[in-house]
Structure 1
Amino acid sequence: MSGRLQNKIAIITGAGRGIGAAIARAFAAEGANVVVAEMDEVTGTAVASEIGGLFCRCDVTVQLDVDRTIHETLDRFGRIDILVNNAGVNVFHRPHEMPRSEWARCMALDLEACWAMSEAVLPDMRSRRAGVILNIASTHGFKIIPHTFPYPVAKHGLIGLTRSLGIEYAAESIRVNAIAPGYIDTEIARDYWAGFDDPAAERQRAENLHPPGRIGQPEEVAMTAVFLASDEASFINAETITIDGGRSALFHD
């Protein structure tokens, strides 16, 4: 690798598996010091050990955990260069059948936690007039698939948060961008397919929706994250990059 993130300090939430783990590995390979902020101690510790990073047990919906993660990062490294808000959960319902508690769970993890983490890193970034915040959104942030409520509401909000913060802090050299993955081959996707009578058929159906005839890999998202976090993307701000193999551009009659 080329060291595109050499000596950068990066916090990645939900980095114990899936897209978050792939980003953690890619960042470390590019020279970053990675803080794996993960609620699952087993997976989080494993990824941190693999890449030589720092594990912080963090439930991003708990302010004490958020504050402790920031404190431990600053105590170890002295600054925070990059925050990747990756932790999230699929919450899919028909609106009129959804328990109110599911709305709260989705908003807490998929939207509010991203602001809590961003709010926590902003003082350090603002004091140094430098920093990158990267939100992992979703194609649900601008496309509506029936029966997936309220997940698209949260992801629309996350894209709005990205644009708002990006504009607010641009003059302080803090960039805020988002990535909107479509179907990616992660544990979350496989768990979703497992809920169908024929998981293999459901996966094939998902693959057939995409022009390349396949779904994406976590590493394909991770390398876009590397680019957006690097100085190569220094004039990209308040933007969302879609990674879905062209599905969202495909004509449907």
Structure 2
Amino acid sequence: MDLQDKVAVVTGGGRGIGRGITQRLLAAGARVLVAQRQPLDEVLGANPNVAWFNADLGEVEAPYAIARAVEERFGGADILVNNAGFMFEKSLDDMTEADWDRMMVVNMRAPVFLAKALLPQMRRRGGGSIVNIGSIEGIGSNPWHAAYCGSKAGVHGFTRALAVDLGRDGIRCNAIAPGWINSDLSNDYIEAQPDPVSARAGLLKLHPVGRTGEPDDVGAAVVFLASDDAAFITGQVIVVDGGRTAKLPLPF
């Protein structure tokens, strides 16, 4: 798919799923502004088609600063990938209002208002594509994930709403709901289990495709949704989970 002459903003695009997204966008010909607090690694930092902007998405002004940065560096954005987010595990008994608010600020408020900040650029450039990274936990839940699941269900909901509101501007908005994607954090989680070998084997059994996901799997879906090949797709939540949520659990 061809994204030549397109400019993308990817929040959290320097590591994990975000890095897979950035790499796929670059391979398709796009230029990418990565907005995150951590500096880029040497490979991305040396790429002339990549720029880094130091942003804390918990700050109210961050979306507008990101919009100014991509305007100055690349002349504006055609694609927005709201990838950055975080998760914690807490029971309702232990969760505070501050915990909840922080989750909603980063996982929901920042994506919505970054879309708002980039609207003038996308309109001027003839339209655009917004891809929000939701989660299968916006559909189901793991234990102690009330705040995270609430935030990701919200991402899926505002994706549909923005698609309805922005279609007249030629701006499409879709979401991707990843399942288990391999990363340092997910691998550490498996290794922390009492029996990591059995835990990994059990995890694989949940996936009809016989493997867990890679950041590149999500990146490929992002590139498709950002491209003209998806010109008639908007307001959708695309599940990328190796069939995990399609498989009914059995006790044997």
TM-score by length of 1: 0.92
Instruction: For residue 150 of structure 1, report the CA deviation from its aligned partner.
Output: 1.2
Unaligned runs of 5+ in 1: none
Residue 206 of structure 1: aligned partner: 203
Residue 9 of structure 1: aligned partner: 7
Pick the aligned partner of 1:175 from 172, 176, 181.
Answer: 172
Instruction: For residue 48 of structure 1, report the CA deviation from its aligned partner.
Output: 3.6
Q: Which secondary structure does the structure 2 equivalent of 1:134 belong to?
A: strand
Q: Is it true that 1:150 corresponds to 2:147 in the alignment?
A: yes
RMSD: 1.8
Deviations 1:228-249 (A, max 9, x none): 0001000000001001111111
Contact 2:8 2:77 in 1 (8 A): yes
Pick the aligned partner of 2:59 from 46, 57, 62.
Answer: 62
Deviations 1:189-232 (A, max 9, x none): 22433543444443333222111232111111111111000010
Q: Which secondary structure does the structure 2 equivalent of 1:54 belong to?
A: strand
Structure 2 CA distance, aligned partners of 1:47 and 1:162? Answer: 29
Structure 2 CA distance, aligned partners of 1:191 and 1:117? Answer: 31
Structure 2 CA distance, aligned partners of 1:69 and 1:49? Answer: 20
Which amino acid letter does the alignment assign opposite residue 12 of structure 2? G
Pick the aligned partner of 2:80 from 67, 80, 83.
Answer: 83
Within 5 Å, which residues of 2 pair with 1:159-238? 159-238=156-235
Unaligned runs of 5+ in 2: none
Residue 36 of structure 1: aligned partner: 34
Deviates more, 1:126-135 or 1:216-225: 126-135
Structure 1 CA distance, aligned partners of 2:99 and 2:191? Answer: 20
Structure 2 CA distance, aligned partners of 1:247 and 1:101? Answer: 32
Structure 2 CA distance, aligned partners of 1:42 and 1:196? Answer: 31
Change (3 A) 1:193 1:112: farther
Which amino acid letter does the alignment assign opposite residue 97 of structure 2? R
Structure 2 CA distance, aligned partners of 1:191 and 1:158? Answer: 26
Structure 2 CA distance, aligned partners of 1:39 and 1:23? Answer: 17
Structure 2 CA distance, aligned partners of 1:15 and 1:178? Answer: 16
Deviates more, 1:86-95 or 1:156-165: 86-95
Number of matched pairs: 250
User: Percent of aligned pairs with the same residue?
Assistant: 37
Structure 1 CA distance, aligned partners of 2:40 and 2:219? Answer: 22
Structure 2 CA distance, aligned partners of 1:90 and 1:47? Answer: 25
Deviates more, 1:188-197 or 1:243-252: 188-197
Instruction: For residue 84 of structure 1, report the CA deviation from its aligned partner.
Output: 0.3
Q: Is it true that 1:117 corresponds to 2:114 in the alignment?
A: yes
Change (3 A) 1:237 1:186: same
Deviates more, 1:177-186 or 1:75-84: 75-84
Structure 1 CA distance, aligned partners of 2:218 and 2:26? Answer: 15
Structure 1 CA distance, aligned partners of 2:63 and 2:195? Answer: 39
Which amino acid letter does the alignment assign opposite residue 3 of structure 2? L
Structure 2 CA distance, aligned partners of 1:197 and 1:90? Answer: 22
Which amino acid letter does the alignment assign opposite residue 101 of structure 1? A
Structure 2 CA distance, aligned partners of 1:249 and 1:171? Answer: 34
Q: Is it true that 1:71 corresponds to 2:73 in the alignment?
A: no
Structure 2 CA distance, aligned partners of 1:141 and 1:238? Answer: 15
Contact 1:91 1:149 in 2 (8 A): no
Contact 2:78 2:125 in 1 (8 A): no
Deviates more, 1:236-245 or 1:124-133: 124-133
Structure 2 CA distance, aligned partners of 1:178 and 1:6? Answer: 22
Instruction: For residue 50 of structure 1, report the CA deviation from its aligned partner.
Output: 4.4
